[in-house]
Structure 1
């Protein structure tokens, strides 16, 4: 083999091995830089979007804070306005003091008098019932005496007629006895009840019943008397209510919550004005930054594009066995693209490095200083340490006294939606008990009520003469002995049986002559008619008399004990009223006063609870801080960090890209002079020559 052929084959073998290894390395580097450049462009765009959206987002956050701050006076006004409820209720109670306090006094007195009044009224009702029963007994006695007198004459006349008929009948009628035609009872022997009637009538005709009704009338006039005698106290108490209303109204200007609202509101307004002031310049500068950074990112992509074209055109135009001086235009263009990429890399590499360094230093430090320290709460410790941040004092910012305000605790409690009163420990700077102290006005109202003197008409249940009258009536109203009378009432009115005698006469009439028979039958019929008539006239009065006697015996037996018990109860009630009436009025007046003041105590307790636990719950503040952290860290700083990382990634791969591009350009570009070895004394076999390792050589 000749030396020219060996040289040609050596060059081709060297070119082929280089082409097969280095494009793979350059391709990997290009794709890494392409991915980094695209990520840098996306991060750059997102950073610009984050900057533009920061202003409306921050404004919305500040608007939320402003809305929250504006709600604090409204919530305080709500608590203050609710004082109208107890004030109005107390004022109505004072205006209606007569019905309210009067009914309380009346109810307390009635608890003592109703028992005695009920017993006396029941006693009078019982005596009136006994009086009616005794009157019925007297009437029935008179009726029975008249009936007995009337029928006694009829029986005598009937007996005379029967004697005549029996004598006319003769021997057959000689056995008939007429002894039974006479009254067995003597109604004139029924005891009289005039004494009982007289005693009970005296009670009925007395004014005891009207006097007891007068007690109810007197109690019914109590509300009017209370209303009349309490006008001065009502006027003084209403004046104190006006002072209480004014004192509660002044609470709005004395609560430190409103000072905090004003200070924080001023800070929010300043922040809003500062944002609006620098909004347009920042957006304009960000637009320039977006363009410059995009151009730098495009240079990276331009270098990548040159490398890609070099990788595409170089291998397509390169043919095996072709001398470097005879390479095709495609291969030469690929090499030129590689060299163009190297040129762009040298031109912009320092700018990329400078931009990566600036964004890394600024973005990384800001992220570590603010975002990372926010997450691990080291930033809170910095804010909590006095003097660490110049001209920053959280207590002064919130308008509070002292340096005890702790940002970490405020943020933590606001996350749990605590109230500002608890979060800022406002009870240490001002006492809510002192702000809501109305004891002076309540004391003046109590003093006025204690001096109020209510005098009611004296209540007298019974005087001594009425008591004696009732006692005498209960003793005199005891019934006489009705034992014999009841025995007579249980017997037949007639000694014999008129019906038996009539049957006997009818039997005799069947065995006698016609003349006597008619007389016997007429006499028997007359006996039957008389029996029927007497039963009809006597049965009602007799039964009524018997029932009245039993009723009066049972009623009168309890009358004396009932009278004694009722009088004892009346005496005790009268003594209680005479002794305790002033205390009853005083106690019920104090009870009315306690009820009146309890409205305010309930309101004060409710107001304290609302102010310390419900008013100005500060979760919106914590949410606003979280929103600011999301805007600054998640949107802005994450985009900055993604940008410098992506751009740094691209810059890192520029160095191997330059080296590989230069090496690859050598194998793709058309050479003016062939780069070969000439050694005519040394010749290798073709098989070994195909595996020859390429060596560097010099151009000639």
Structure 2
């Protein structure tokens, strides 16, 4: 019996958590957040807070929350200081510059290490600019990845929900496959009942016929041998009789010719005295062939009882057993087929006993509603994400603008500067480069605090989301927290899935489903579902068993050999009976010459003598011709008959010894077979009927074992349920949170590097801008002398300078 396998549905592929080349950046963000927030997930605090055991107005609650958020608070304080002091410092710096202080005076002292200092500042600012450029590139990519994540998130969510729907719908289908598979044992059982003649009758026939057929085969072999022996006996009898008659005729012929030759030789006188015909008589004594009539009589006596007919009848009795079984069990088979239909009706009700199927149906409907609602919000989310993308691009462009001013300043300054030219004679390109650097510093002062404010806000939200949601989600602490008893009543799986007396938790269910375990073990369904009770077909299989046990088969009886046949067989087995024939003497005689005297030699003697005795020539020649005719007659008649007789004797010598052995063996086997049929027939029928009934019921037992193993080991492999959480984790954490965190991290590092950018840009700008005053020249042999082409003194006043 071949039962079907349960095949798993086809699902959409899982979303890849690939970082798309940003894994290094993500690792940096994770490491930074790990330093900022090294505390474990606050399970106890959140539990007390949610259960209202911790009063939110209690200062201790705030202290505990602040202790947990210490790292974020430190970063927030640093960011707040940055937001406050950067614009304030920028304002003071601007005022000082306008007053000619803080490097605002257009005067540059010329020293020997001036070129080295300029190159060092150039290299440092270039390095800072490259770092800013790397950061803004990462910010651009991260900003774009957030948008892609939103778009991919909805598609992935739809695919995930489709997978879950396919999975939830597949469970009832798999249960239906199990239930529908009852048709396999039903069909097998029905087929066995329809072919009961072959299935039961043939086995009864084989069991009974094993010994009976062996006895019948032995009897048939005996009859074949006796038939062959009979033919050979007839041949021996006829051949011997014919040869004896021919020998009598030969004796007459030899006597007549012998008398004639003796008379002729007497008339011939002394000249013919050398020829003697005294041995002209038959040589072999064919009367020594044993009489086989008694043996033929015994065989004919056995044949007259027609044992072949008895054997044919016995074989027919056995061969008719399958048809008899089929005819005698029609009513029982009909009743059993009715019981099979009751089994079919009972199994049709099995799906209704799995209450969890209703819960799964509700879950499927809930997931459909959730997907529909999510799709309704997709345009709104996409719209707001568009705004977010524009804001992100603008923020990146602010940093990019500063980088552009840096690059222009470095480019124009480096290309336009002539180190040999006095500062007041610097070219326009060099002066423009310095102005670009000052512009870069100005924009850094203007936008740095704004960038830090936005970075701090996104950092606080994204960082806490990662540490409070994504990180504990990845290490399983979040599920353990959600499993806290009575913390979230709506997340009670026992109630949601209608699992009575089950201790299933989100963590245990997720862990089992990650390894694609079946629902039976994942939900501990053996605690509240008893398969033996659901698949309790014993009542119906018991009815089938009791119905089939009413089978009452009678195969009839037959006599393998009657007493008369046995008696005649025993007569054939007597060692000293008529079949004990000795052909040795006859064979010896058959091998001798039929005539003692050689007729050819005598004929030659007579012809030679006729040439010498003209008086009796004619008589001697006639007698020689007569001898020649006798020799021809003997050659034509005796050898074929003798060969036939010899062949028959040889075959008889081979077959006759077999008959007593075959008779004894056949009678013994017949006796045993007859006894076996009389004593064991009912037992054989009973045993084979019981085996047949067990085989029919065994179809259902095999089905039940298969169905239970499928339910406990294959039905509802819940990998797709775990894939839902994994997919949501991928969408939310890998796509959105990591991308958002990468964005603020990139902007944050750019914002931090704006400080060295300001310092280096301001310092380097003085090496490129055109000065208003020359530097004085120092000589060891002369007094210092200041060279000036402009007024050395001006009244301090606020003015704008280039």
**Could you say whether these structures have the same fold, taking a TM-score greater than 0.5 normalized by the shorter chain as the test?**
yes
Once the two structures are TM-superposed, the CA of residue 32 in structure 1 deviates from its matched residue by 4.8
1:496 alignment partner in structure 2: 597
1:575 alignment partner in structure 2: 675
For 1:619, which of 692, 714, 719 is the aligned residue?
Answer: 719
Question: Are residue 632 (structure 1) and residue 726 (structure 2) matched?
Answer: no
Per-residue Cα deviation, 1:178-213 (whole angstroms, up to 9, x for no partner): 322333455456543332222221211222210111
Per-residue Cα deviation, 1:294-320 (whole angstroms, up to 9, x for no partner): 334444444555666777789979984
Question: Are residue 219 (structure 1) and residue 219 (structure 2) matched?
Answer: no
2:379 alignment partner in structure 1: 280
CA distance in 2, matches of 1:176, 1:229: 93
Aligned ranges 1:405-484 → 2 under 5 Å: 405-475=504-574, 476-479=577-580, 482=583, 484=585
Once the two structures are TM-superposed, the CA of residue 359 in structure 1 deviates from its matched residue by 0.7
Per-residue Cα deviation, 1:446-483 (whole angstroms, up to 9, x for no partner): 22222211011212101222211222344454245555
- Given the superposition, is the C-alpha separation of residues 13 and 467 from structure 1 closer, same or farther in structure 2, using an over 3 Å criterion? same
SS of aligned partner of 1:455: coil
Per-residue Cα deviation, 1:20-75 (whole angstroms, up to 9, x for no partner): 76975777666655554454344223222322331112112222222233333333
Aligned ranges 1:95-110 → 2 under 5 Å: 95-110=194-209
2:696 alignment partner in structure 1: 596
For 1:385, which of 475, 481, 484 is the aligned residue?
Answer: 484
Q: Which has the higher helix share?
A: 1
SS of aligned partner of 1:451: coil
1:652 alignment partner in structure 2: 752
Structural RMSD (CA): 3.9
Q: How many residues align?
A: 673
Once the two structures are TM-superposed, the CA of residue 229 in structure 1 deviates from its matched residue by 0.8
CA distance in 2, matches of 1:163, 1:188: 28
SS of aligned partner of 1:47: helix
- TM-score, normalising length from structure 2? 0.74
SS of aligned partner of 2:612: coil
- Given the superposition, is the C-alpha separation of residues 687 and 204 from structure 1 closer, same or farther in structure 2, using an over 3 Å criterion? farther
Aligned ranges 1:393-404 → 2 under 5 Å: 393-404=492-503
For the 8 Å contact 1:446–1:593, the answer to whether it is kept is yes
For the 8 Å contact 1:44–1:290, the answer to whether it is kept is yes
- TM-score, normalising length from structure 1? 0.84
For the 8 Å contact 2:106–2:773, the answer to whether it is kept is no
For the 8 Å contact 2:240–2:289, the answer to whether it is kept is yes
Question: Are residue 54 (structure 1) and residue 153 (structure 2) matched?
Answer: yes
Once the two structures are TM-superposed, the CA of residue 254 in structure 1 deviates from its matched residue by 3.2
Question: Are residue 563 (structure 1) and residue 663 (structure 2) matched?
Answer: yes
SS of aligned partner of 2:490: coil
Question: Are residue 253 (structure 1) and residue 348 (structure 2) matched?
Answer: no
- Given the superposition, is the C-alpha separation of residues 390 and 210 from structure 1 closer, same or farther in structure 2, using an over 3 Å criterion? closer
CA distance in 2, matches of 1:329, 1:647: 31
2:630 alignment partner in structure 1: 530
Per-residue Cα deviation, 1:630-666 (whole angstroms, up to 9, x for no partner): 2222221122112212222333345566677788999
Aligned ranges 1:313-324 → 2 under 5 Å: 320=422, 322=424
- Given the superposition, is the C-alpha separation of residues 44 and 495 from structure 1 closer, same or farther in structure 2, using an over 3 Å criterion? closer
Once the two structures are TM-superposed, the CA of residue 328 in structure 1 deviates from its matched residue by 9.0
For 1:128, which of 220, 227, 234 is the aligned residue?
Answer: 227
CA distance in 1, matches of 2:444, 2:657: 137
For the 8 Å contact 1:180–1:497, the answer to whether it is kept is no
Show structure 1 runs of 5+ residues with no match: 1-9, 678-683, 691-696
- Given the superposition, is the C-alpha separation of residues 168 and 686 from structure 1 closer, same or farther in structure 2, using an over 3 Å criterion? farther
For the 8 Å contact 1:105–1:588, the answer to whether it is kept is yes
CA distance in 2, matches of 1:141, 1:313: 147
For the 8 Å contact 1:675–1:698, the answer to whether it is kept is no
SS of aligned partner of 1:170: helix
| Larger RCO of the pair (alpha carbons < 8 Å, separation 6+) | 1
CA distance in 2, matches of 1:650, 1:85: 72
Show structure 2 runs of 5+ residues with no match: 1-103, 776-780, 788-793, 798-802
